[in-house]
Amino acid sequence: MAMVTTGLVAVASLLLLLAGDASAATLALYNKCGETVWPGIQPGAGKEILARGGLQLLPNRATSIRLPTGWSGRVWGRQGCRFDAAGRGKCATGDCGGALYCNGAGGEPPATLAEITLGASAAALDFYDVSLVDGYNVAIDMRPYHGSGANCLPAGCVSDLNSVCPAGLAVRSGNRVVGCRSACAAFGSAEYCCTGQFGGPQQCKPTTYSRLFKRACPKAYSYAYDDKTSILTCAAGTSYVVTFCPHRR
């Protein structure tokens, strides 16, 4: 079930309406950007595809989706998309195979990811984060709604990382930087991808590029083993609000 409405106040209303009871988690998506965002939703292995895996969200609009117990997956914002009447087309960033409805497919990097694994029981915890491991395309704020726990806190990358993206990582559309690739995607070396001799938390350490990401977005994953400062937890049954371009007025 999904509903669309206008404005920030409406996000809370949607959560209250669709959550129904404390055990039912809800995901609200709110677009504060000055342009349309096409959220993509990819489930974890064996999990349900929600909202056909993708939708259109106009500026200053919000939508809310019921999350099944134990669901896991990721959400990202596609930008610069054009689709025909049959839902075929292309996005400048975050494209999922040229389709409006991603239907389980992931987004093409660079894409800022909001990731979540819901607890499978009332006694379990939700785990969530915002990740730049696949690069960055749009600012995201992810925060729990009516959640509890000492580590039940906002996550996100709310800075405009495109404005400080190194030339070797930048993805351009005309004269405009529309995305910032990860060093792994840009250069493919084991050091940046945490593979081969660097394939573990003791071997794979922050690099110049991941430190730049971390300085800009201290509440987001900056590279594959950035766990200690990036994974957050809430009691199961918490709902979440993911806002695109959160600081835009």
Residues 92 and 202 grouped into a single domain = no
* pLDDT exceeds cutoff 90 at 7: no
Residues 21 and 33 grouped into a single domain = yes
Residues 139 and 48 grouped into a single domain = yes
* pLDDT exceeds cutoff 70 at 6: no
Residues 103 and 121 grouped into a single domain = yes
Residues 47 and 22 grouped into a single domain = yes
Residue 248 has phi, psi (to 5 degrees) of -75, 135
Residues 173 and 190 grouped into a single domain = yes
Q: How much is the pLDDT for 230? A: 82
Residue 230 lies in a domain: yes
Residues 124 and 70 grouped into a single domain = yes
Task: Please name the residue that has the structure tokens 């938390």.
Answer: 201
Residue 30 lies in a domain: yes
| CA distances (Å), origin 151, targets 52, 148, 212, 231, 234 | 31, 8, 25, 9, 7
Q: Which of 9-23, 44-58, 136-150, 195-209 has the lowest mean pLDDT?
A: 9-23
Position 1 confidence tier, pLDDT thresholds 50, 70, 90 = very low
Q: Vertex 1, ends 65 and 73: CA angle to 5°?
A: 40
Residues 35 and 122 grouped into a single domain = yes
Residue 249 lies in a domain: no
Parent domain of 139:
2-160+225-244
Residue 71 lies in a domain: yes
Residues 102 and 18 grouped into a single domain = yes
Residues 194 and 232 grouped into a single domain = no
Q: How much is the pLDDT for 221? A: 92
Residue 129 lies in a domain: yes
Residue 83 lies in a domain: yes
38: domain CATH number? Answer: 2.60.110.10
Residues 184 and 111 grouped into a single domain = no
SS (H, E, C) the chain: CEEEEECHHHHHHHHHHHHCCCCCEEEEEEECCCCCEEEEEEECCCCCCCHHHECCECCCEEEEEEECCCCEEEEEEEECCEECCCCEEECCECCCCCECCCCCCCCCCCCCEEEEECCCCCCCEEEEEEECCCCECCCEEEEEECCCCCCCCCEEECCCHHHHCCCCCEEEECCEEEEECCHHHHHCCHHHHCCHHHCCCCCCCCCHHHHHHHHHCCCCECCCCCCCCCCEEEECCCEEEEEECCCCC
Residue 64 lies in a domain: yes
Domains in the chain, number? 2
The Cα 205–Cα 12 span in angstroms is: 39
Q: What is the pLDDT of residues 109-125, one digit of tens each?
A: 999 999 999 999 888 99
Residues with Cβ < 8 Å from 203, sequence gap 6 or more?
Answer: 194, 197
Q: What is the pLDDT of residues 94-109, one digit of tens each?
A: 999 999 999 999 999 9
Q: What is the pLDDT of residues 48-103, one digit of tens each?
A: 999 999 999 999 999 999 999 999 999 999 999 999 999 999 999 999 999 999 99
Q: What is the pLDDT of residues 128-186, one digit of tens each?
A: 999 999 999 999 999 999 889 999 999 999 999 999 999 999 999 888 999 999 999 99
* pLDDT exceeds cutoff 90 at 249: no
Residues 175 and 71 grouped into a single domain = no
